Amino acid sequence: MRNYSNVDRYLDKLLEDIYPQPQDSGHTSWAREAIKFFVDRTYGVNNVLDLGCGEGFCESIFREFGILEYWGIAFGEDVLKSKEFGRHVKEADFSFLPLPDGSVDLLFSRHSLEHSPFPLITLMEWHRVSSKYLALVLPDPSYWTYSGNNHYFVLNKEQWVNLFEVSGWKVVESENKSSIMALEENSPEVNIEFWFLLEKNEEITN
């Protein structure tokens, strides 16, 4: 029998590391591009759950692209701010989702999974509630580095793919996203993000 009381204490301690993520033009532009990429490649999607959604600014973007049923998951100050805008955001831990099995068509996580203290377990939980798809935007450590405040797992592409396989996800499509926006003028493009469209396997096999 496992005793999870100490794990609860550890997770409560890590809540102190969470910081608000207000909307800004750069994040909105990048998010729009990623969401279009994923929506164009998914079928039969009627609802989306935005995991670690900040203030929930992606709600209007998903609606623009035809997915009208939106819910976001966040913590703290971001949730309060989202209410001011009338957005559909709930306070919850995205590793312990209060949702039935197979209840969400599309799970969307943009720059949030790296904040999980146990991303493999988190991916298994997302597998549980998904009916089909998971869309992931993850930071490339070659640009963002491997560490930062509340960034516990900034992994390379091969490491992420390994976690996907163990947690029951199949990579449908992936892309290395490049940008020059954060660089000096006339600098070459560098990769800043990994985009993964994943499809749920029926069973977690490993």
What domains appear along the chain, each with residue ranges and CATH number? 22-200 (3.40.50.150)
Which pLDDT tens digits describe the chain residue by residue (206 residues)?
789 999 999 999 999 999 988 888 888 999 999 999 999 999 999 999 999 999 999 999 999 999 999 999 999 999 999 999 999 999 999 999 999 999 999 999 999 999 999 999 999 999 999 999 999 999 999 999 998 889 999 999 999 999 999 999 999 999 999 875 544 556 677 889 999 999 999 777 55
Listed in sequence order, the DSSP H helices in the chain are 5-14, 25-39, 58-64, 77-84, 119-129, 141-144, 157-166
28-41 core/surface letters (b: 16 or more CB in 10 A; e: else): eebbbebbebbbee
Task: Report the relative pairing of strands 104-110 and 47-51 from DSSP bridges.
Answer: parallel
